[in-house]
Amino acid sequence: MATTVRSISGAWMKVIAKHAFPERSPRGRIESLATTLQISRRSCYAYVAEERRVPEDVERRFIALFGEPTDDAWRTVELQRPRKPKKRRKMEETRRLRGITKEMAAAKREELSISLRTLSGKLSEDGLGHALEWEQNQLTIGQTAMLEESLDEQEARAKYPHNFDTLAMSEDWVAICKSCGLIGAVDDSAREVNGLVFRVTCRSDSYRVQ
């Protein structure tokens, strides 16, 4: 059963970030907004791209910092109950990987990652007119702990001494259009390609809330 709720739109978050951090690049504005809201960059990119709704606690922080959004700054989202097939898919993939060496598995993941970025990038650039710039998600396990567990760096390094600097989402790649600033993401661990930059023509502004 689906439940309809309101969520701050990605377009409004971009507008706020542009005014709050005018000296930063489009990517820098989103990253600064993530830091200000005390969330991961990956989550912030997802909210701006409207691939995920903005959680209530993040909305409260956003409103406390930047004021009440205008009436047209909201969008409606249908919340669905979580489905189980993904867990089954993960189990099936685990079974298929039995007997495969770590090196072979890593090579297959790298091949998949390159393929996803190449195909999605070709669609975005050749079909929709974007000029993409790719960046691997550099958020580390330690930084994630600092954000999610409200730890300072010393506390996080003490709690995660062996993997503080290990990338938390190494299979997560972010694409931003250097021309219009729209954002997308490729997560080859989940085999997902998300974001407006893969669905909206460059500089068309057709994603804006009416």
We report the CATH number of the domain holding residue 58 as 1.10.260
Structural domain ending residue among the three candidates 32, 50, 81: 81
The rounded distance, in Å, linking the Cα atoms of 66 and 19 is 10
Would you state the torsion angle of the CA atoms of residues 61, 63, 65, 66, taken in this order, to the nearest 10 degrees?
150
Q: Which domain covers residue 49, as residue numbers?
A: 1-81
E strands, 88-188, in order: 132-136, 172-177, 183-187
CA count, 13 A, side-chain hemisphere, 115? 10
Query: Does 69 map to a domain?
Result: yes
pLDDT digits (tens, 9 = 90+) for 111-151: 777 888 888 999 899 999 999 998 887 778 888 888 878 88
Maximum CA pair distance of the chain?
A: 56
Structural domain ending residue among the three candidates 50, 81, 112: 81
For residue 55, how many other CB atoms are within 10 A of its CB? Answer: 13
Query: Does 174 map to a domain?
Result: yes
Q: Is the pTM of this model over 0.75?
A: no
Q: To the nearest whole percent, how much of the chain has pLDDT over 70? A: 82
Residue, of 30 and 169, whose pLDDT is higher: 30
pLDDT digits (tens, 9 = 90+) for 74-107: 998 876 554 554 555 555 565 555 556 667 766 7
Q: How many structural domains are present in the chain? A: 2
